[in-house]
């Protein structure tokens, strides 16, 4: 994952906007300014910055999912352990009521 971030950082640092590219972006924006769906062109650097910020949110989202899965597994494990202990506890109570000091499983 770090290699991906390094590659994106390298690309972002090496993108240079020329006057010709800026004129092209302005021409595209001006062509669609009065349409019902106006276009907003942006340089590659701005697009890559948005992409990197999205990856940061993706990391948080995946961490939240992993935390929820871990918590659910913890609940399931404790439930299984409590179910497996319940019959043994009943046998222990019965044997103590009948006067036995030790219980053989």
pTM of model > 0.75: no
- 5-17: per-residue pLDDT in tens? 666 666 655 555 6
Residue carrying structure tokens 């036995």: 100
pLDDT at residue 72 in the model: 97
Which pLDDT band holds residue 100 (cuts at 50, 70, 90)?
low
- 13-45: per-residue pLDDT in tens? 555 566 677 777 788 888 888 888 777 777 777
Identify whether the C-beta of residue 11 lies closer than 8 Å to the C-beta of residue 48: yes
- 47-65: per-residue pLDDT in tens? 778 877 777 777 788 899 9
pLDDT at residue 41 in the model: 76
Identify whether the C-beta of residue 31 lies closer than 8 Å to the C-beta of residue 15: no
Q: How far apart are CA 101 and CA 76, in angstroms?
A: 33
């Amino acid at each position: 994952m770090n290699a991906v971030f390094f590659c994106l950082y390298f690309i972002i640092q090496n993108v240079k906007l020329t006057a010709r590219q800026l004129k092209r972006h302005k021409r595209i924006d001006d062509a669609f300014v009065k349409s019902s769906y106006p276009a907003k062109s942006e340089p590659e650097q701005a697009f890559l910055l948005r992409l990197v910020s999205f990856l940061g949110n993706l990391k948080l989202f995946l961490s939240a999912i992993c935390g929820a899965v871990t918590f659910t597994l913890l609940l399931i494990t404790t439930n299984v352990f409590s179910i497996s202990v319940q019959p043994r506890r009943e046998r222990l109570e019965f044997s103590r009521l009948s006067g036995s000091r030790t219980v053989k499983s």
